[in-house]
Amino acid sequence: MEAPLIAVTGRRRAAAGLHSGPPALDALEIDAYFTGYGANVVAAGGLPLHVPGDVDPAAVVERTDALVLTGGNDVDPARYGAVPDARTSSLEPGRDAFEIALLAAARERGRPVLAICRGIQLVNVAWGGTLHLHLEEHAHTRRHEVTLTPGSVLAALHGPSATVNSLHHQGVDRVADGLTVTARAPDGLVEGLEADGLVCVQWHPEQLEDVPQPEFRWLVDAARAG
């Protein structure tokens, strides 16, 4: 059986400081994502496809078998009726719009989706939920426990609890209709959301030691089954 083709979103950055070529390249931009995403897809039996933000989302979903929404900067607070404050990190409204369109196309075509960190926040906002603008106690806490909901995909992958990493300063506040909370931190913060064919986690499985992480195995298996 051929390896499922997994679309992986990334981020666009100024090239300055990210290359070893002549200074003239500083004015260019680079599309990138952290290597752990692709490495986990490959180790789980999939074939990762980096998706730049200026392609047709429907065409991407048509030709791929699953989608990974990766981490990154804050979702634009205007999308959920809030106002940025001094702690809001660089916004990417174009990326927001592109990934929301990718998500909608994937859901319409029944493609499985794994949403990570910014991804869980984007999904919740896209479906009508809101976010906490800043969570000082969660910002960059390297390890903590989450409790997983019995009967959920995450519980099937990990058991009743898991030790995860935390690299975020925002999080899910009001959960959107149609999404089920399937993981919580000890203070009650939502760390996992699910719907049919959709798994969202607030942590970064692509940065944990074991490769592939169970979430990526789930995604590739679901892509094969679809």
DSSP string, 78-129: GGGT----TTPPPP-HHHHHHHHHHHHHHHHTT--EEEETHHHHHHHHHTT-
Phi/psi at 201 (5° precision): -130, 145
- Write out the CATH class of domain 5-225: alpha beta
| Pairing status of strand 198-201 against strand 190-195 | antiparallel
Whether 13 shows a pLDDT value over 80: the answer reads: no
User: For residue range 123-169, what is the model confidence (pLDDT) as tens digits?
Assistant: 999 999 999 988 876 665 678 899 999 999 999 999 999 999 988 88
Whether 121 shows a pLDDT value over 70: the answer reads: yes
Confidence class for position 19, pLDDT limits 50, 70, 90: confident
**Residue ranges covered by each domain of the chain:** 5-225
Task: Indicate the length of the chain as a whole number.
Answer: 226
User: For residue range 171-201, what is the model confidence (pLDDT) as tens digits?
Assistant: 999 999 999 999 999 989 999 999 999 999 9
User: For residue range 57-115, what is the model confidence (pLDDT) as tens digits?
Assistant: 999 999 999 999 999 999 999 999 998 887 777 888 999 999 999 999 999 999 999 99
Cβ partners under 8 Å of residue 119, min gap 6: 68, 69, 70, 71, 99, 200
- Indicate which residue of 92, 99, 191, 206 is catalytic: 206
- Indicate which residue of 169, 191, 204, 215 is catalytic: 204
Q: Give the pLDDT of residue 140.
A: 59
User: For residue range 213-226, what is the model confidence (pLDDT) as tens digits?
Assistant: 999 999 999 999 98
Q: Is 200 a catalytic residue?
A: no
Average pLDDT of span 36-40: 97
Closest CA to 45 of 1, 9, 10, 109: 1
Average pLDDT of span 18-22: 86
Give the 3-state secondary structure of residue 187: coil
Q: Is 204 a catalytic residue?
A: yes
Task: Count CB atoms within 10 A of the CB of residue 151.
Answer: 9
- Indicate which residue of 117, 158, 200, 215 is catalytic: 117
